[in-house]
Amino acid sequence: MHQGQITQADVGHKGTQLKLMLVLDNEQKVVFKPAWYSRDYVVEGPPYAGRDRHNAEIAAFHLGRILELRRSPLVVGRKVNLLKDIFPVASDRLKETFFRKDKAPCFYGRCHYCKGPEDGVCAGSDGILEGVLVLWIPEHYHLKLHRHPWARTYREGKMARWETDDTYCAKVRAVPGYSQGPRLLDIVDTAVLDFLVGNADRHHYETIQEGGRDAALIILDNGKRIRASLWQRLLALQEGVLSHVLASILDQDPVAPVLTQPHLTALDRRLGKVLDQVGTCVDRVGIKAIVLDGNSRKDSGDSGIS
Ligand SMILES: Nc1ncnc2c1ncn2[C@@H]1O[C@H](COP(=O)(O)OP(=O)(O)OP(=O)(O)O)[C@@H](O)[C@H]1O
Ligand SMILES: [Mn+2]
């Protein structure tokens, strides 16, 4: 993505996490998500605990390309100078949220929990804040939000229907929207991606007209079917190929190194688990029932987002 000058900066207006809306000097609109954690910081608690990790956005974008899913908008790491690159072009409502902490510039913007300086994010003493740029999907795509059929309840001790009802998958498959077309296999595609990157926070997903974009790792245990193209791809990435390919791509990012060695090792390990899981199903009921040729994205009109 374009690394040029930032011409406008405003508070983010969607979602719960703190983010900025930026316009670059070639008119590209992008979301800026700041870094909260160092590369090797381990978030404790439930699988969805903590804030989103900016480096994970970069890794997931490239992983999606390697898996040939191509259904996420472009992501690239970026270091911004809060005082030189952002403040001078900031909207008034963003400017109002700037403050200083131990001499470093900070802001708290506007988001679900961003009530004041205690929820803000700070640059280093040099004014530099690392984060990622995510290309904004233009409004004319009309994103449609769907509740994820395999979402968590996010409440300790409260189980979701898919956790207690063995026939839940069949019920979802009877629902218009899932009974035909690519949607369910899209969810499986992204379930694999989410499992590989450790994203356990897929409560909703969005589609662009016909096409799906997001999903939850949990489907892996329930969906039991996988698109042939993804299965072939996963097989080709065994034995360390995945981490090797991804690491060499991530080396090119402006905020490299994006992942630590333990992250890369975990990716190969999780890929092994996905292959084992699908392999077990194949052994049990045969490849034809599990690995599906039909319903490919291409048959049903790709969103064209890559
Ligand atoms: N690149 C993008 N292009 C278009 N719309 C986007 C983009 N990124 C985010 N959005 C919109 O903003 C919403 C929130 O985005 P995102 O999930 O990244 O933020 P979040 O703060 O983590 O929100 P949540 O807590 O709902 O997960 C999305 O559901 C989508 O409608
Ligand atoms: Mn989120």
Q: Six-digit token pair at 175?
A: 């629902």
Predicted confidence at residue 253, as pLDDT, reads 97
Chain-centroid distance of CA 223 in Å reads 20
CB atoms within 10 A of CB 290: 20
Encoded amino acid at 211, one letter = G
Burial environment of residue 107 by CB neighbours within 10 A (0 to 12, 13 to 18, 19 or more): buried
Q: Tell me what the mean pLDDT of segment 264-282 comes to.
A: 95
Is 186 part of any known ligand binding site? no
Return d(Cα 22, Cα 78) in angstroms, integer: 12
**Residues 143, 117: one domain?**
no
From 10, 13, 14, give the residue whose CB has the most ligand 1 atoms within 8 Å, as the site to mutate. 14
Encoded amino acid at 223, one letter = G
**Residues 150, 277: one domain?**
yes
Q: Show which of 92, 118, 135 is a domain's final residue.
A: 135
Q: What percent of the chain lies above the pLDDT cut of 90?
A: 61
Interval 91-124: pLDDT, tens: 999 999 999 999 999 999 998 888 899 999 999 9
Distance 206 CA to ligand 1 centre (A): 9
| pLDDT at position 303 over 70 | no
Q: Which domain holds residue 22?
A: 8-135
| pLDDT at position 177 over 90 | no
In a domain, residue 76? The reply is yes
> Residues 67, 71, 73, 78: what is their CA dihedral angle, to the nearest 10 degrees?
-20
Predicted confidence at residue 301, as pLDDT, reads 37
In a domain, residue 300? The reply is no
**Residues 259, 130: one domain?**
no
Q: Which atom of ligand 1 is nearest to the CA of 17?
A: 21
Q: Is residue 75 within a helix (H) or strand (E), and if so which, with residue range?
A: strand 75-81
- Across 34-43, 104-113, 244-253, the highest mean pLDDT is recorded for 244-253
Of the listed 189, 201, 276, 293, which one is catalytic? Answer: 201
Whether 189 is in the pocket of ligand 1, judged by its Cβ within 6 Å, is no
**Residues 130, 146: one domain?**
no
- Across 65-79, 130-144, 232-246, the highest mean pLDDT is recorded for 232-246
Q: Six-digit token pair at 275?
A: 């292959």
> How many domains are there within the chain?
2
Q: What is the ipTM score, two decimals? A: 0.96
**Residues 77, 211: one domain?**
no
Mean pLDDT (the chain) is 87
Q: Does 251 qualify as catalytic in the annotation?
A: no
Q: Show which of 135, 170, 196 is a domain's final residue.
A: 135
Q: Is residue 285 within a helix (H) or strand (E), and if so which, with residue range?
A: helix 261-285
Distance 306 CA to ligand 2 centre (A): 20
- Cβ–Cβ < 8 Å for 215, 205: yes
First-last CA distance in the chain: 12
| pLDDT at position 246 over 50 | yes
